Structure formats: C-alpha cells, structure tokens
Amino acid sequence: MKYSEIFYSIQGEGQLVGLPSVFFRTSYCNLRCIWCDTPYTSWQPEDKDISVEDAVTAILAYNCPQVVITGGEPFMQAKELTRLCQQLGQQGQHITIETNGTLFEPVEADLLSISPKLANSNPDANNHHFPLHQRLRINQPVLRQFLDQYNCQLKFVVETERDLVEIQQLQQEMQIPSSTIVLMPPGITRDQIQGKQNWMVEICKQQGYRYSPRLQVDIWGDQRGI
C-alpha cells in the first residue's frame, strides 16, 4: 500500500473524540481541497510502500483496539484496503475509515467517517484541479451506499454560515438524519478553531447536529504524526 505514516494518538474529531487510536494514513487523494491539512497525501503525496501484512503488524504493535484508516483517500487503494480491514477485523480491531465519500467498496468497518466536501473546498477557479474537484466532490450514489450499509457520521468542514445552505440541501435530498451530521471548523491553529466554534455550536443546537472540536489542533497545533 502507499502510505505516509502510522502513529498512536487520540481521535480528535467526531463521535469517538478523545479515544486512544492507532492511525494508518494512506497516501493519494482524488480531490484537491484548498484547505487540505495533509497536503503530503494529496497535493504532494508521499510515496512510501508497505505490505498489508506489515501494516497490520505495525498497527497491532501498539496494543490498542481502535484503528483509524485515513488519508488521503483510503478507497483509492480498494483492493489493499479490503485486505487490511479483513485482517484487522480478524484481530478484533474496531475499524474507523475516514473517507471523502466519493468512492465505494464493500469493506469490513465499524464506523465510516465521511467528509463530503462543500464548495468551500474548491481550489481557485484558475487552478487546473478545479474542474475535476468540483465534479467529484459530492457523489450522492456513493453516499447512499455508505449510509445504507454502515454506521456513518457525515463530517462537514464549515467556514461560514452560508455553508449551512449546502448542507441542508444535501440533507433534504438524501433524507439524512440530523444526528448523523457533524459540523467542524477548519483551521490549523487553536485561534482559528476557537474563532468559529461559538456560532457553529449555536447552529448545532438549532438543527440537532453534532459539533466536533479538533482536539489534535488544540493540543499540538499544526504537527503531523500525533
């Protein structure tokens, strides 16, 4: 598999926030979010190789029952991802897969943490990545497959209150329960996160959504491998 890092930390986002977890970060992504906080997996992907068996061994060595497979976009390596999840599941691991929700493959997982990309993720219109990103960033048939077959959370990066219109339109079109939707501020510093959280929490209270902090940013700032 192509990957960038394996590390032991806590889950900083979503419904399992604060839970000690081993992170296996795959490389390569089919989208080009302008605010991507792991450009070393997308805009300039690292090209390290590891076998599925060695990845399983490295993950299990931390003796932690929770594993988060993230990226990049893990489903770009569907064959290897399927084998990885199967072997981790055989070892009793709780498996979370973090995905942008544009590619589907039936895999063994306990939680699909899906982050559909809103228009605020678009690269500059003059960037050659813009047309493909804009076309791919929301894939409703794939989202439907995940929602129908897995325990899911839909985690949206929200910059301004205007983003709520896009979220609510998608929610209405796909009949997504409010309790499945997670709002999360962008940012790579504690101040950037805190500057948005008050009004975002109020939206969650009004709409029945979940607010997610970004604990890894609060604790460590803009560092990787933590």
CB atoms within 10 A of CB 199: 12
User: What confidence score (pLDDT) does residue 223 get?
Assistant: 82
Residue-wise pLDDT tens digits, 28-57: 999 999 999 899 999 999 989 999 999 999
Whether residue 88 is contained in a domain is answered as yes
Partners of residue 8 on adjacent β-strands: 22
pLDDT > 70 in the chain, percent: 100
Q: Which bin fits 175, alpha (ψ -120 to 50), beta or left (φ > 0)? A: left
pTM of the model: 0.95
How do residues 127-185 score in pLDDT, each as one tens digit? 999 999 999 999 999 999 999 999 999 999 999 989 999 999 999 999 999 999 999 99
Q: Is the residue at 151 inside a domain?
A: yes
**Does the residue 225 lie in any domain?**
no
Give the tokens for residue 112. 């699909």
The CATH number of the domain holding residue 73 is 3.20.20.70
pLDDT of residue 221: 81
CA distance 196 to 75: 31
Reported as a pLDDT band with limits 50, 70 and 90, residue 103 is: very high
Give tens-digit pLDDT for 191-222. Answer: 888 888 889 999 999 999 999 998 888 888 88
pLDDT value at residue 138: 97
Residue 226 within any structural domain of the chain: no
- Say how many domains are in the chain: 1
For 95, the domain range is 2-220
Query: What are the start-end ranges of the H helices in the chain?
Result: 52-60, 78-90, 130-136, 140-149, 163-174, 190-207, 215-220
Q: Specify the 3-state DSSP secondary structure of 82.
A: helix
